[in-house]
Amino acid sequence: MQFACTATEDFFRLRLDHLIDLRNPLAVLASRMSWQELEASVSHLLSRKARAGVAMPDLDLFGEQLVHRKRASNAGRPRIALRVIISLLYLKHAFNESDEALVARWAETPSWQYFSGRAHFENALPCDASTLIKFRKLLGEEGVEELLAHTIKTAVQLQLIQPEALSQVIVDSTVQEKAVAYPTDSRLLETARQKLVQAAKDSHIALKQTFAKEGKELSRKAGRYAHARQFKRMRRAIKRQSTIVARLCRELQRKAAAATAALSAAAIESLEQAITKAQRIVHQSSSRKRQGDSPKLYAWHAPEVECISKGKAHQKYEFGVKVGIASTVQKNLIVGARTFAGNPYDGHTLREQLEQAGILMESLQVKPLTAVVDLGYRGVDGENPGVRIVHRGKAKSLTKAEKKLLKRRQAVEPIIGHLKQDHRMNRCHLKGATGDAIHAVLCAAGYNIQWLLRMIARKGLAFLEAVFLRLIGLLVILTNSLVEAPKGSANAHRLTIS
């Protein structure tokens, strides 16, 4: 792999710096980001792990003696350059692309390849789309937070925002929805029936009846009755679906207990998990209240999904996870983003949100000192010592400067809107609670990349405008000197010659 280096030349290929305009904001950002420092900060997460079963060195009088064993190599193909993968994650969320569309667009866009550190244009995919999935798992939440922290550091190094501005933040929460269907009782019960039948088939357990035809028909009936507002008929169909699922659970339990010796431990565990989930769905469909301490199950494949109501008129309930966003009061740069499982009260998330923001800005020796919030964060001043919490519930005790800050609180709302519409936070397709956390931070990093591109373009235009005004000013001064100088004088003659 060849990177952008002036010493690298190839007669048969065009260099990227000859193809693109180096004044493009993405090209400017590529040359201003400290990629080596970023790679060093995440490289420890990608180190090879020790494998079980490998012989350890024997110790004797002559020192260590390695025991060599013949075995097939599991190294696989060499890894893709770290800068390329990191830049792909930045570009994915900055330009709102899926994994498949991202690698296809990268192969056709010279400026993206230059941003990734390539020296020559290559009309080929940088990697398979599935490689990004594996890389996100290796990075984890800690690694993607390094990516977000680096965008903040780059903004300060380019003098696009002052370090003092990072101490005043706006904090708000939103919902990152999960890629699940709307969880109706009828749909969940039909999914439970299908999963139980599949679990029995995988374990080679013969069921007396699978209710395939009746289950599909009941699911269709329940949807039609709900649309027609015939709720008694709808509940009758749902009750029959519950009866079918409960019957399959009991039959599976009996036959699994009888065939314990023939089943492996993994098969028994898989059956138990399927039966437990199905029983939870049956219990919650018969009662609108929670059963004990266990939360309701809203998706078979995503048990971490919560039902959250944010008081929206157009969408009463959202199914996903609560996300906290921290942005600067001035310039609207995101300095923190993290998920909070279990739908906690907004005020109880403030301490962890400010702690994350302080960690991300630790290299800049700055930490949040003022947090501007809404009324959902009332009553948590004691949990956040050293931080001044400003909201309109303290209107009588606020200073004039704090009242001016409070007018900027609404600036976080369009930031959340851009995160959802332009940077993929509207729907999370990554698996599990870890996938939710990684996705939220990457969306914030993509937003910051776009923020950097806008500010670089604005700074470049301002520089050109200043030069233009300076030239006009010099021209005006020169013209005035020519007009005011007396005719025939030596100065006028000198100015005319010049």
Every domain of the chain and the residues it spans: 163-180+305-429, 185-286
Residue 349, token pair as written in the block: 């998330």
Q: Is 429 helix (H, G, I), strand (E, B) or coil?
A: coil
In whole angstroms, what separates CA 260 from the centre of its chain?
Answer: 43
- Say if residues 158 and 190 touch (Cβ distance below 8 Å): no
Residue with tokens 């994650």: 89
CA dihedral defined by 124, 130, 133, 137, rounded to 10 degrees? -110
Question: Which secondary structure element, helix H or strand E, spans residue 306, and what is its range?
Answer: strand 306-308
CB atoms within 10 A of CB 287: 8
How large a percentage of the chain has pLDDT more than 90? 71
pLDDT value, residue 30: 93
Report whether pLDDT(128) > 60. Answer: yes
Q: In angstroms, rounded to a whole number, what is the distance separating the alpha carbons of residues 147 and 88?
A: 12
Among candidate residues 309, 302, 295, the one with its CA nearest the CA of residue 429: 302
Which pLDDT band holds residue 80 (cuts at 50, 70, 90)? confident
Residue 437, token pair as written in the block: 């956390």
135-139, 141-145, 220-224, 293-297: which has the minimum mean pLDDT? 293-297
pLDDT value, residue 365: 93
CB atoms within 10 A of CB 39: 14
In whole angstroms, what separates CA 43 from the centre of its chain?
Answer: 20
Phi, psi of 236 (to 5 degrees): -65, -40
Q: Is 262 helix (H, G, I), strand (E, B) or coil?
A: coil
**Residue-wise pLDDT tens digits, 150-204:** 999 999 999 999 999 999 999 999 999 999 999 999 999 999 999 999 999 999 9
SS (H, E, C) 153-188: HHHHHCCCCCHHHHHEEEEEEEEEEECCCCCCHHHH
Q: Rg of the chain's alpha carbons, rounded to an integer?
A: 31
pTM for this structure? 0.84
Phi, psi of 340 (to 5 degrees): -130, 110
Among candidate residues 139, 37, 41, 47, the one with its CA nearest the CA of residue 88: 139
80 burial type by CB count under 10 A (0-12 exposed, 13-18 middle, 19+ buried): middle
**Residue-wise pLDDT tens digits, 320-336:** 999 999 999 999 999 99
Question: Which secondary structure element, helix H or strand E, spans residue 335, and what is its range?
Answer: strand 334-340
Angle between helices 25-32 and 432-484 (to 10 degrees): 110
Q: Is 58 helix (H, G, I), strand (E, B) or coil?
A: strand
Q: In angstroms, rounded to a whole number, what is the distance separating the alpha carbons of residues 318 and 340?
A: 15
Class of domain 163-180+305-429: alpha beta
Question: Which secondary structure element, helix H or strand E, spans residue 38, and what is its range?
Answer: helix 35-42
Q: In angstroms, rounded to a whole number, what is the distance separating the alpha carbons of residues 478 and 47?
A: 65
Amino acid in position 165 = A
